[in-house]
Amino acid sequence: MRGRGLAICVTAAAMTAGAATWLALALPGSSTTPAAAPPGLASAGAGPASPPVRVCGNSRILGGGPASPPSGAVVIPAGDDSGSVLAHNWSMRPDTTYWFAPGRHTLGSGQYSQIIPAHGDTFIGAPGAILDGQHQNLYAFTQQASQVTIRYLTIQDFGAHGDNGGQGVVNHDEGTGWRIDHVTLQGDAGAGVMLGSSNVLAYSCLKDNGEYGFQGGGTDITVDHNEIVGNNADNWEARQSGCGCSGGAKFWGVNGAVITSNYVHDNLGPGLWADTNNRGFDVENNYISGNLGEGFIYEISYNLRLAKNTFVRNALVAGPRLGGFPDPAVYISESGADSRVPGPYGNTLAITDNTFTDNWSGVVLWENADRYCGSPANTSTGECTLVDPKMVTTGSCDAANLAHAPYYGDCRWKTQNVLVSGNDFTLDPASIGADCTPARYCGFNGIFSQWGSWSPYHGTVIENRITFNQNNHFESNVYRGPWQFVVQQQGNAVDWSTWRGKPYAQDAGSVMSG
């Protein structure tokens, strides 16, 4: 289990009162289409007006597997496959295609009955082919083979609900070069898919899985044209309070990811969450809506382009429970651009040309004053920053070193060099519900920290740095509705004119209506 930022973590119990509560709470209103611009107000934002893809239950996308075996393929009949070649990995031949006949396939009743591919193998389903774990087998496809392809299968009910935390059903061991496309992963415990280096996940439905739709780790991951819905069905935050282990998808230590044209909605927690030392992410043209927590989180990570996405009605359940923190659609937590970290976007972490409609709040840039490599508040235990790894380590970021360069600066993950520009922020409190009031921090953007507990970051040090010294700017945005702002210090709520005036000078070139 991997933790999240302290600011949200300390109220996790309030956010996750139990699975029944999550599932029973209905969000007020039903529209997930961004509102039209009022007459005479400049247009901003370029996110998609509707989901770019709807995969789940879509036979045109998912039902295109071959009706007869491809030439040279090994045929896997429907029924109990525990006696077939799939159950005997010593018989698996590299670069072999396996064709699953129509119908329901099982792997026997053993907990560790699973398919162990060889290098270059392809597993392809005929229309109607289902691989069913019966909640008896833990995993479907495992171990270290590379260049494996899985297509046109429904893979369901692996693992026991409430179990398999931190585990995955397909590519359990994060093999290199896997391609998973036109697949349905539903009702599985843990994560439906684990993505490793050079993996591609495309045109697939990840639905109602116990922990995540997928987890990612490694280098050069592509996630394109998927529908990710209803995940965290086992409500892991209620099982392990503050674990930071729930939602549509989780990335950990990923070096380079392209996340495009996905429909991420109605997950029981955050939508997409990049947590700890991720870098070089390009997140574009996604439709992210109705997630009970934030739509997108970038936490103690680096170098991001978040562009031309649409965020609709996110955090409407988690937001009212957070108290004095404006739970946003986009949460940037101790993350920024740093040119010393290899890869793209090292000069500016850009949040640009996105459309935001009736989320609990919009974009929050946050830096926890008490969180740095080696601190008690670093919930990503044992991890250190990426900017000077030959010198700055968990052990070197101690009290004796922190007062001096390079440790003072390089032991921190900084929210720095962030530009929030060209976005369209629309807020209609009446469409959200009676809880959407300024007193409950609904309808806010912000740049802020909190009073630091420990030297050398004690007091207002980080509050001042994130606000004035770390090159964080909102500019050229359009606001519709009664937006307010938190700036410099947690709890310091200000209006439009204060936000734009000295000393903050935010949102130059932006306009507000309503």
Mean pLDDT of 230-247: 75
Of residues 364, 480, 363, the one with CA closest to residue 425: 480
Q: Is the pLDDT of residue 62 over 80?
A: yes
Between 24-33, 70-79, 169-178, 329-338, the lowest mean confidence (pLDDT) is in 24-33
Could you read off the pLDDT of 438-485 as tens digits, one per residue? Answer: 999 999 999 999 999 999 999 999 999 999 999 999 999 999 999 999
141-159 pLDDT per residue, tens = 999 999 999 999 999 999 8
Nearest to 57 by CA among 219, 202, 229: 229
Q: What is the pTM of this model?
A: 0.91
Q: Would the pLDDT of 17 be above 60?
A: no
Predicted local confidence at residue 284, as pLDDT: 98
Has residue 404 got a pLDDT over 80?
Answer: yes
Phi, psi of 212 (to 5 degrees): -130, 160
Instruction: Give the tens place of pLDDT for each residue, 277-309.
Output: 999 999 999 999 999 999 999 999 999 999 999
Are the beta carbons of 20 and 235 closer than 8 angstroms?
Answer: no
26 contact partners, CB below 8 Å, separation of at least 6: none
Which residue from 15, 1, 38 is spatially nearest to 481, judged by alpha carbons? 38
Distance CA 110, CA 310 (A): 44
Q: Is the pLDDT of residue 41 over 80?
A: no
User: Which residues, in sequence order, are CB contacts of 151 under 8 Å at separation 6+?
Assistant: 65, 122, 123, 124, 125, 179, 180, 181, 182, 183
